[in-house]
Structure 1
Amino acid sequence: MLQKDKNNSKSKGFLYPKKPSGKLYTYRKWVSYALLLLLFACPFLKMNGEQWVLLNFIARKFVFFGLIFTPQDFYLFALAMLIFVIFIVCFTVVLGRLWCGWACPQTIFMEMVFRRIEYWIEGDAPRQKKLNAQHWNAEKIMKKGGKHFIFLVISFAIANTFLAYLIGSDTLFKIITQPVSQHVSGLIALLFFTLIFYAVFAYLREVVCTVICPYGRLQGVLLDNQSLIVAYDSNRGEPRAKIQRNIQEEKKGDCVDCGLCVQVCPTGIDIRKGTQMECVNCTACIDACDEVMLKINKPERLIGFYNQDYISAQKPFKIGLKAYGYAAVLFVVFMVFSALIYKREAIETTVLRASGTLYQSRGENQTSNLYNAELINKTNKTVRFEFRTKNHQDKIEFVQAANVLPKDGSAQITFFLIKNNKAITAYKTDVVFEVVVDGKVLSKANTSFFAQPDNH
């Protein structure tokens, strides 16, 4: 079903899409503005003392809406990424590449920010072409210079937001406000990402969607005849012909071959040639075609959301078994993830017997084992804790003690666990340790106690 336009395989040069308009474009603008607001808000708004979203790979700290994930929680992070991938797959199987046209940050910034600034300064596609073709004069220098200056400013804002996700908004604020000499590497990173974003939105543009992004190529594997996609109803539209008074209406389709669907396409494809890898489902062609259909008193949606079964055999849309299968997998993985999040402890405790040591006899009545414990604080608050054994008949003798767990930090403890010989009935005994904060047990750790059982 997915094909590649041969004309598209050749370089088109710089594209000048016509300014889109229509109901779907209006809806897409509001969706885009809401997503942009969320994107810029997440690293700067805080919950429980932490920013909403943080992906600090350098410090190995990840925060999602109040939940802090440490390297010990990497399995949860990997599972969350798996859920996201399965969701995108399931979404694509049902609704095609709608993610690209309506929710992808690349498309939103390109079409709803940078392209709209270009229309505002240089005008619609014909005026842009004329401006680029004319010699450099005051008008061209002013418009081109003003446009690229605004592009750089917006790219700088995006780079700041991107870094806020990676290093934290507090660290970013220090880079901006403190002397440059104290944050040379941070400034270099800020300028580097500014230039990257500027190059992407000022020059690469649709190449990111059609060549660089792997999702478009993955689409060919995921789509089937029941997937909803932006498509041209060839049964109704063909044979296409220009509007002429002497042509009998029954001998031609509804398509008047105006070419508007091609002119508004941000990737420069002709949707009438079938589903193509370059299509991002932005729905600009639907709005353009509907406008023409209204003018010639024809029904709307000559181009619309259709599946291949409807185009070829007029079969109504229904969700296929493959989509239900992906949805079932998504549900199972999500339930597993939710259960792991629910059982996740705010303090992670690991207790191991000291390597190379045996049990120690303490007179005739007691035996001890030496242990090392590590406590990791997964909260953003300093915690005072008590470390104890669950069996209150056992005793702990600390070699290296600690009762304060720093924010986002860890603490190490070395201690002897002492048991009465009469309580030892096997060479290997399971023991449980507890970490108590404000009278509540926040963490438990299991390990083994080795000793020769008392035979008396």
Structure 2
Amino acid sequence: MITQNDETFRDSISTVDAAGKRVWLFPKKPQGPLYNYRKWVSYGLLTLLFAGPWLRINDLPVLMLNIPARKFIIFGQIFWPQDFFILLLASLTFIVFVILFTVVYGRVFCGWVCPQTIFMEMVFRRIEYFFEGDSAQQKALAKADWDWNKTWRKTGKHTVFLVISFLIANTFLAYIIGSDALVKLVTDSPDQHLGGLASLVLFTGVFYAVFARFREQVCTIACPYGRLQGVMLDKESIVVAYDYNRGEPREKLRKNQERKAGDCIDCKQCVQVCPTGIDIRNGAQQMECINCTACIDACNNIMDLINKPHGLIRYDSESHIAANTKFRVTGRIKAYSGVLVMLVGILVALLATRSNVEATVLRTPGQLFQKTDHGTITNLYNISVINKTNHPYPITLKLLEPAGGTIALVGTDGLTLPAQGITEGVFFAELPAKALHLTSNKIRIGVYSQGKLITEEKTKFLAPAR
């Protein structure tokens, strides 16, 4: 038995032996209320994940992150490089949100929402249980000689693994290039989309390797979030924890023998169901623990059999376990949760107040003002208007300030702003000389579509000294 002050278990991980070789895990199939809740949450998230590229808001995908084209669509709104500051603020807000959420609620994300956990535990692991049976059957099959029984089970499992990896790769690619481009890639001749086909094969191979071989090592070796949890969690964070005050000292349950030990009967069911192979009784905040709650269900099932109350392993903070007090919502949790709500509000406000059309107006380089015969001054400008929506706009320009001015486009009667595109033009701004009191005056130009102001831009208007 490892005492609470013994930290030697942190010197190694459960999936690597003393010689540095991989220890293959055969976790027992979990069952219980929390596992059932996780299944429903997982299936709901999987439905959203696979449906996401095909869902539309304002005729645009719900989410598309086309990094090569520097085009991002989030909840039906297009973000171009001009919106980089919004994406930067959104990224910083998200990072702060993750840190504060982890400090308060621990690794709930890892156990309940993380795509790696959902796919591994709720898809690939369940397929493995279907073909190879539970933990004991899997171990026996792994040691068995290659006969027909082992061949068809292994072949069937890995065939399904490859098919699902292919579906995930298609979905992943759809989030990058869009569902329309993906359909074209699939239906056209392969030689017309060699780059896309290579990407699809590469993604399929990566996902298959992750879920067929790398597995839980993604969480313990590759995932930066798992590595950083040690600096984000503290003794007040809510984690999956073992109540050693109630459980120790451990003692096997023997028939007709009076127990003087703790409630833990050392059945090791919590270890057998753990997908990362740890012993939660060693202590809270273990790097490998993803807070999947499988050990909670396993322990509660045993407590039911021996007529003991649930909660020997539960969601709680390390400080409450140490002080043997019940969990309560503290002022710290309320304050941090308030900050989380505020951060989400800021992000929503940024997205809601963002303009769908953006104009840039610059004076034409090398051009000075010009005087006209009827007492006005003109300046020549270049305008560039970008459309962040999926709808075209016929646009006109008006001089809003100062009053009395006009705008005349050069070479055209009007401009048309294409959907998800850019239009450019050149125009003269003309103002009465008497309205200009400085050599550099501020003017405000409005961009209209069908009589409605859709955006405006400020610039400078040069005039002769008075």
TM-score of the superposed pair, with normalisation by structure 2: 0.93
Partner of 1:408, secondary structure, is coil
Report the CA distance between 1:317 and its aligned residue: 2.7
Q: Quote the Cα distance in structure 1 between the aligned partners of 2:306 and 2:342.
A: 51
1:73 and 2:83 matched: yes
1:184 and 2:175 matched: no
Q: Quote the Cα distance in structure 1 between the aligned partners of 2:440 and 2:349.
A: 32
Q: Quote the Cα distance in structure 1 between the aligned partners of 2:37 and 2:339.
A: 31
Which residue, out of 273, 279, 283, partners 2:282? 273
Structure 1 match to 2:431: 419
Report the CA distance between 1:364 and its aligned residue: 6.6
Q: Quote the Cα distance in structure 2 between the aligned partners of 1:254 and 1:314.
A: 15
Which residue, out of 299, 319, 325, partners 1:309? 319
Check whether the contact 1:62–1:68 (CA below 8 A) recurs between aligned residues.
Answer: yes
* Segment drifting more, 318-327 vs 20-29: 318-327
Q: Quote the Cα distance in structure 2 between the aligned partners of 1:80 and 1:143.
A: 47
Check whether the contact 2:64–2:73 (CA below 8 A) recurs between aligned residues.
Answer: yes
Structure 2 match to 1:86: 96
1:166 and 2:176 matched: yes
Check whether the contact 1:233–1:302 (CA below 8 A) recurs between aligned residues.
Answer: yes
Check whether the contact 2:100–2:336 (CA below 8 A) recurs between aligned residues.
Answer: yes
- Residues 37-116 of structure 1: pairs in structure 2 closer than 5 A: 37-116=47-126
Q: How many residues align?
A: 453
Report the CA distance between 1:204 and its aligned residue: 0.2
Structure 2 match to 1:262: 271
Q: Quote the Cα distance in structure 2 between the aligned partners of 1:116 and 1:97.
A: 23
Report the CA distance between 1:197 and its aligned residue: 0.2
- Residues 352-431 of structure 1: pairs in structure 2 closer than 5 A: 352-363=362-373, 365-391=375-401, 393-401=404-412, 402-431=414-443
Check whether the contact 2:104–2:336 (CA below 8 A) recurs between aligned residues.
Answer: no
Residues 339, 284 of structure 1: alpha-carbon distance in 2 compared, 3 angstrom cutoff = closer
Structure 1 match to 2:234: 224
Partner of 1:63, secondary structure, is strand
Check whether the contact 1:351–1:372 (CA below 8 A) recurs between aligned residues.
Answer: yes
1:121 and 2:121 matched: no
Structure 1 match to 2:164: 154
Which residue, out of 314, 337, 352, partners 2:347? 337
Unpaired runs of 5+ in structure 1?
A: none
Partner of 1:293, secondary structure, is helix
Q: Quote the Cα distance in structure 1 between the aligned partners of 2:422 and 2:356.
A: 12
1:253 and 2:253 matched: no
Structure 1 match to 2:244: 234
Residues 426, 97 of structure 1: alpha-carbon distance in 2 compared, 3 angstrom cutoff = same
Q: Quote the Cα distance in structure 2 between the aligned partners of 1:336 and 1:187.
A: 40
Q: Quote the Cα distance in structure 1 between the aligned partners of 2:146 and 2:237.
A: 49
Check whether the contact 2:60–2:73 (CA below 8 A) recurs between aligned residues.
Answer: yes
Q: Quote the Cα distance in structure 2 between the aligned partners of 1:298 and 1:34.
A: 34
Which residue, out of 243, 261, 264, partners 2:253? 243
Check whether the contact 2:97–2:343 (CA below 8 A) recurs between aligned residues.
Answer: no
CA-based RMSD of the aligned residues comes to: 2.0
Structure 2 match to 1:32: 42
Check whether the contact 2:415–2:425 (CA below 8 A) recurs between aligned residues.
Answer: no
Q: Quote the Cα distance in structure 2 between the aligned partners of 1:329 and 1:290.
A: 34
Unpaired runs of 5+ in structure 2?
A: none
